[in-house]
Amino acid sequence: MELDIALILLLFLTGLGAGTVDAMAGGGGLITLPVLLATGMSPVEALATNKLQGSFGTFAATRYFVKKRLVNLSEMRTMIISTFIGAVTGTILVQLLDASLLAKVMPGLLVLIALYFMFSPRISDEDSEQRISMGLFAGLVASSIGFYDGFFGPGTGTFFTIAFVSLAGFSLARATAHTKVLNFTSNIASLMFFAVGGHIVWFAGLVMAAGQLIGGQLGAKLVVSKGTRLIRPLIVIVTLAMSAKLLMDQIEFDAVAAQFSQLF
């Protein structure tokens, strides 16, 4: 792949925009993956490179949230380990199994999540009642969502956020901050396996990573300063966009499959 000045600038700006949005609401892959595929990368290369650049954005957001004391990493140790193990397991298993069933289920599930964020009274700037212990959250929820991120991926940040809000009783800003830590963990776990497989386009990924470092910190600042009034509608928009994208991909895949079957 040849990278001229215009393409380098496009990759940087894409990383910047995606990092900002992802730090606030997740779904940065909606922005980055189409751009990576448009450069001529294979789907596997695009996914691998996306994990590389996305790791920088989640790192920048995590670092900012830790500095602002919305996150205590020592208290999240068990969650981090559980997420890492789940993501590694999912990354290994996706190479052996068909993930197409998840692709069919996800659009409807994401619409339900968007409706929850629109109407649930639990979505606020204040903590609410905790429904499960942090140990159970780590062992069951964090590991399951980490597995999902390694196995399929779209909406991972949204799932983490809704789990922190609905089960752990976190405020939306605090849930978003903890989400970035676990999202960074699952990104690193998947990235390790993609790196071993030699699928990463390093230069392109690092150009986008530079934008992600800036965007991730910018988005994290907006989470702290704006809170629910900004994050809530943005999560709804991003979640519905992810649902539409997955649905369109599924329709296109079914159409191609139908055309192919008519040839035989």
DSSP class per residue in 24-86: HHS-THHHHHHHHHHTT--HHHHHHHHHHHHHHHHHHHHHHHHHTTS--GGGGHHHHHHHHHH
User: 3-state SS of 165-215?
Assistant: HHCCCCCHHHHHHHHHHHHHHHHHHHHHHHHHHCCCCHHHHHHHHHHHHHH
Average pLDDT over residues 246-250: 76
**Closest by alpha carbon to 49, among 156, 203, 189?**
203
**Comparing 4-8, 73-77, 103-107, 159-163, which segment has the lowest mean pLDDT?**
103-107
CB-based contact 181:123 (threshold 8 Å): no
**Closest by alpha carbon to 176, among 223, 112, 118?**
223
**Comparing 140-149, 201-210, 218-227, which segment has the lowest mean pLDDT?**
218-227
In this structure, is the dihedral angle defined by the CA atoms of residues 99, 103, 108 and 113, taken in order, positive or negative? positive
pLDDT of residue 259: 55
Average pLDDT over residues 54-76: 94
CB-based contact 49:180 (threshold 8 Å): no
First to last CA, the chain: 36
Confidence of residue 58 (pLDDT cuts 50, 70, 90): very high
Of 37-41, 44-48, 80-84, which has the strongest mean pLDDT?
80-84
Find all residues with CB under 8 Å of 259, minimum gap 6, and list them. Answer: none
Residue 149 has pLDDT above 90, yes or no: no
**Comparing 47-51, 96-100, 167-171, 201-205, which segment has the lowest mean pLDDT?**
96-100
Between 189 and 119, the more confident residue is 189
Confidence of residue 123 (pLDDT cuts 50, 70, 90): low
**pLDDT tens per residue, range 17-42:** 999 988 887 878 878 888 898 888 88
Average pLDDT over residues 168-184: 93
Between 248 and 188, the more confident residue is 188
Average pLDDT over residues 108-136: 77
Confidence of residue 140 (pLDDT cuts 50, 70, 90): very high
pLDDT of residue 211: 96
CB-based contact 239:106 (threshold 8 Å): no
Between 41 and 80, the more confident residue is 80
Tokens of 56: 């920088």
pTM: 0.82
**Closest by alpha carbon to 91, among 158, 188, 163?**
188
Can you state the angle between helices 43-67 and 29-38, rounded to 10 degrees?
140
**Closest by alpha carbon to 157, among 132, 137, 131, 185?**
185
CB-based contact 179:65 (threshold 8 Å): no
Between 46 and 97, the more confident residue is 46
Tokens of 120: 């649930």
Confidence of residue 99 (pLDDT cuts 50, 70, 90): low
Residue 264 has pLDDT above 70, yes or no: no
